[in-house]
Amino acid sequence: MAFQGSLKELPLPDIIQLVSVSGKTGVFSLRRNNDAAGEIYLRGGQIVHAFVGDLRGEEAMYELAIWPEGEFVFTPGKETDVTTIQKSNTNLLMEAARRIDEWQILSKRIPSTRLVPVFTQQATTTSVSLTPQEWALICKIDERRTIEEVAIGLGMSPFEACKLLYGLITSGLVSLNEDLSRLRTERLHGQSLEELAAVAESIHGQARELLSGHSRQGELDVPFRMSKAEMDGGRGVEAILDLVRAEEKVVSAALGPNQSKTFLSRVGQILNR
């Protein structure tokens, strides 16, 4: 018999522990904000496979574990032949908790995975010892690709790439540049104040929806109010971009780099309407 509920009422790690102790086989189907969905498969009470968006295996499990809200349905008896996870449930959930805590530190220096790593002047004059992983990352930095694109080139998650970058940034070898060039803002030029305000309202609404139920949702209100004041002062398109930057940082710090990507994707859709 299937059962369902809300992640606001019962966090995913607690739900999984509740089901796994009974040794059940089945699948958790999760949905969030009507456009994000994933599944976690259990076999004999053990998590064996998970996916959400482009993520598979452990990375998908970690992404789903930090969702602050959403709906779940557990369907017993539904099996999968795919096995992408080997870790025990305990280790998976402990790692998920650790990542949530660690991202709070990483995001202070790396607020978004859409930023572009570039070498500093210090990098040309400093002699340092690097790990093989750090060397591999440095070889992928071409000062055009974003952190997310570098991570894809290395075959690792954005989270793992950020961990490597954090040390390089702290040592002064690498800095991060903004890259909002992929957001099509041409349509905004020439729009009235009322039309720009409507765009800002839509962007703000998407950020609030992503952070629905999260304790940091209220942090979005300050940049939204500032954007309205800036638009009244004549900084139309610039105010929109400032709002995107500020709200993306809040989303990224609260939910991690994958949800930051989701937010920017939604912003792109708003700007292309």
Give pLDDT tens digits for 84-109: 999 998 899 888 888 888 888 888 88
Tell me the C-alpha distance between 272 and 243, whole Å. 17
Q: Is residue 106 part of a domain?
A: no
Query: CA dist 77 to 23, 31, 195, Å?
Result: 11, 20, 51
Q: Which pLDDT tens digits describe the chain residue by residue (273 residues)?
A: 678 888 878 888 888 888 888 888 999 999 876 667 899 999 999 999 999 877 889 988 988 887 777 888 999 999 899 999 999 988 998 888 888 888 888 888 888 887 889 888 876 666 677 888 989 998 988 888 888 889 888 888 888 899 999 988 988 888 888 766 666 777 778 778 888 889 899 999 999 988 887 888 999 999 898 988 888 887 878 888 889 888 988 988 888 877 887 888 888 888 877
CATH number of the domain to which 147 belongs = 1.10.10
Model pLDDT, residue 256: 81
Tokens representing 73 are 């349905």
> Are 203 and 165 contained in the same domain?
no
pLDDT in tens, 129-182: 788 898 999 898 888 888 888 988 888 888 889 999 998 898 888 888 876 666
Strand partners for 56: 51
> Are 135 and 167 contained in the same domain?
yes
Tell me the C-alpha distance between 265 and 249, whole Å. 14
Q: Is residue 248 part of a domain?
A: yes
Tell me the C-alpha distance between 23 and 46, whole Å. 7
Nearest to 149, CA basis, from 119, 179, 123 = 179
pTM of the model: 0.67
Q: Is residue 107 part of a domain?
A: no
Element (H, E) at 30: strand 26-32
Residue 252's domain spans which residues? 186-271
Nearest to 196, CA basis, from 249, 248, 235 = 235
Model pLDDT, residue 35: 64
Q: Is residue 32 part of a domain?
A: yes
CA 110, chain centre distance (Å): 12
Tell me the C-alpha distance between 117 and 221, whole Å. 29
Q: How far apart are the first and last CA of the chain?
A: 43
Domain count, the chain: 3
Model pLDDT, residue 194: 86
Residue type, 242: D
> Are 8 and 97 contained in the same domain?
yes
Q: Is residue 108 part of a domain?
A: no
**Single residue among 137, 154, 177 that ends a domain in this structure:** 177
Nearest to 224, CA basis, from 195, 245, 209 = 245
Tokens representing 207 are 């950020």
Tokens representing 245 are 């930057």
Tell me the C-alpha distance between 41 and 57, whole Å. 10
Q: Where are the alpha helices (DSSP H) in the chain?
A: 12-20, 58-65, 89-109, 132-140, 147-154, 158-170, 193-210, 221-232, 236-255, 257-271
Nearest to 74, CA basis, from 172, 156, 7 = 7
Nearest to 200, CA basis, from 251, 259, 267, 254 = 267
> Are 244 and 163 contained in the same domain?
no
